[in-house]
Amino acid sequence: MKRELSEQEIIRRESLQKLKELGIDPYPSAIFEVNTTSKKIIANYKDNEELEVVIAGRLMSRRIMGKASFAEIQDSEGRVQVYINRDEICEEDKTMYNTVFKKLLDIGDIIGIKGVVFTTQVGEISVKAKELTVLTKSLRPLPLPKIDTDGVTHDSFTDPEKRYRQRSVDLVVNPEVKDAFIKRTQLTNSMRSYLNEKGYLEVETPILQPLYGGAAARPFKTHHNALDVELYLRIANELYLKRLVVGGFDGVYEFSKDFRNEGMSRFHNPEFTQMELYVAYKDYIWMMDLVEEMVEKIAIDLHGTTEVKAGENTINFKRPWKRYTMYEAIEHFTGIDISKMDEAKMSQTAKKLGVEVDKSMGRGKLIDEIFGKKCEGELIQPTFIIDYPVEMSPLAKKHREKEGLVERFEAICNGKEICNAFSELNDPIDQRARFEEQLELVKRGDEEAMLLDEDFLRAIEYGMPPTSGMGIGIDRLSMIMTNSSSIQDVLFFPQMKPKKD
RNA sequence: GACCUGGUAGCUCAGCUGGUAGAGCAACGCCCUUUUAAGGCGUGGGUCCUGGGUUCGAGCCCCAGCCAGGUCACCA
């Protein structure tokens, strides 16, 4: 597996060798004690102050003018210019400047600078180097975008394939990419602290499961050698969290990586993150209030306001959000009241609305299709859609008043579902019947129908208190909160096809 | 999965109607002690995504494939 090295890589390896010959370790082990950052230097420097600093980072540009040079160092917070004068970093022996800095260092190398902050004649806050330390030699040339005085970027590294496949490089040369990921972590921190303040317990449940459940999706299959059993990667954590509610935890939540063996798109990655929450003695109406409050708080924590820009739209998470029943939403967007229609009439109506129908579709599926085609994309401001057909929701409790519906809601925002919740079905006899209906679907070839989980049924036969449960898509919410149009922009390492070569 | 677009130097890209493979930056060499995307002068660098085909001749045309992006479908 020998790779042909490019000219520039060969040169860098030769420089590496020469550094070693000069007795300089290109990969030293000792601590390099940094005492500030680029950002702090620029923010805090006052003229005429004798400020000694030690910084470290990547060498990102070099302007050599004989015996003096300017370079830019990029650390975790930004860049600062360094002034390197031959006679300031060298005593008698000028090797450190003439050979090491000018010849053997390359853009991308990680160096440490000890020096004094000053302002150049042109007025740029810089560090005058007194000591230069090689911390890591870089063996590959970085793609190197440059920004000119008009703010125009030249040679920017934008090829999405290369960016996603080589995120390390992307982060080095496009530091603004970091911002979305920092926001994403702030989002989960904000959510976690909200839930903790409410007294709910963060837990962990299995990713490797003998039976998958809790959602309608095709799973990834794997194999445990020692036990010689097939296992599945979880598609949801619902059934395990409910077992914990049976066991006496009244409020549990989990941030979970879930895995679905389905198509990919800018909204779908095979592994994605959800937060699921289950609270005993509550119902779905109560949960709507919680979702509103929590997401509003997240928007404020991240942006200092409830208004968030997402593409063309400005989304306002301020409470209260609009609430429509599914029938109301359909009537609102199509002008047709389908609530009293039978299956035949509804099928006709769907066809008229341009929805593709086939004979296998029951009433519930038709409603869902009409909603998906005619309403979901129109809902830009956060909106709750309430009361779903029972056929689509085998784990939700039947509606306390409305025949054929369940107590379920989704939160829709920017035309996409971000949250799904219901009053959890805790009647074990009904739950068994619903699983059996799902099994009928499996027999008819539905690859996404749920499996009957006997162990879960046994748990709720002991009695699960009335419970409200909710799942919220962290990737989708992150996309909205960071104004990203693709899920790949909020995942460090989105799934890509392996390169064949 | 379908359709559209793209894949050329380390990076960003040009390459006409099929006729010797190009530019800027980066690299390398020399000069230069406060510069600002790019100081000056000079030099080297290519599996034109892969495999077939047409042709005297293919980066360009044709076929098949790989990878990516977009749109749609699928995915509550």
CA A495 to chain centre: 13
Instruction: Work out if A69's Cβ lies within 7 angstroms of strand B.
Output: no
A7-41: b (≥16 Cβ within 10 Å) or e = eeeeebeebbeebeeeebebeeeeeeebebbbebb
CATH 2.160.10.10: does it fit domain A7-142? no
Would you list the DSSP string of A80-96?
EEEEEEHHHH-SS--HI
CA of A429 to C1' of B63 (A): 61
Q: Are A216 and A209 in contact (CB under 8 A)?
A: no
Which bases of chain B are contacted by protein, using any atom under 7 A from a CB?
1, 9-13, 24-29, 31-39, 44-45, 47, 66-76
- Judged by C1' against the alpha carbon of A157, the nearest nucleotide is B11
What does the pLDDT look like over A181-219, one tens digit per residue?
999 999 999 999 999 999 999 999 999 999 999 998 889
Instruction: Work out if A14's Cβ lies within 7 angstroms of strand B.
Output: no
Domain ranges of chain A: 7-142, 177-321+381-489
- Judged by C1' against the alpha carbon of A105, the nearest nucleotide is B27
CA atoms within 13 A on the CB side of A48: 0
| pLDDT for res A3 | 63
Average pLDDT for residues A380-399, to the nearest whole number? 92
CA–CA dist A397, A467 (Å, integer)? 10
Q: Do domains A7-142 and A177-321+381-489 have the same CATH topology?
A: no
CA of A388 to C1' of B34 (A): 70
- Judged by C1' against the alpha carbon of A165, the nearest nucleotide is B68
| pLDDT for res A153 | 66
Task: Assess whether pLDDT exceeds 60 at residue A308.
Answer: yes
What does the pLDDT look like over A16-74, one tens digit per residue?
999 999 999 999 999 999 999 999 999 988 877 788 999 999 999 889 888 999 999 99
Interface predicted TM-score of the whole assembly (ipTM), two decimals: 0.86
Mean confidence (pLDDT) of chain A: 90
The percent of residues in chain A predicted with pLDDT above 70, rounded, is: 97
Task: Assess whether pLDDT exceeds 60 at residue A342.
Answer: yes
CA A242 to chain centre: 25
| pLDDT for res A326 | 92
Q: How confident is the model at residue A501 (pLDDT cuts 50, 70, 90)?
A: very low
CA–CA dist A258, A234 (Å, integer)? 6
CA of A141 to C1' of B14 (A): 23
Q: Which residues pair with A460 in a beta bridge?
A: none
The CATH number of A177-321+381-489, from 3.40.50.2000, 3.30.930.10, 3.40.50.300, 3.20.20.140, is 3.30.930.10
Instruction: Work out if A395's Cβ lies within 7 angstroms of strand B.
Output: yes
Q: How confident is the model at residue A154 (pLDDT cuts 50, 70, 90)?
A: low
Instruction: Work out if A43's Cβ lies within 7 angstroms of strand B.
Output: no
SS (H, E, C) A53-80: EEEEEEEEEEEEECCEEEEEEEECCEEE
For residue A77, which of A169, A178, A224, A225 has the smallest C-alpha distance?
Answer: A178
Helix spans in A226-283 (H)? 238-246
Residue nearest to nucleotide B45 (CA to C1'): A7
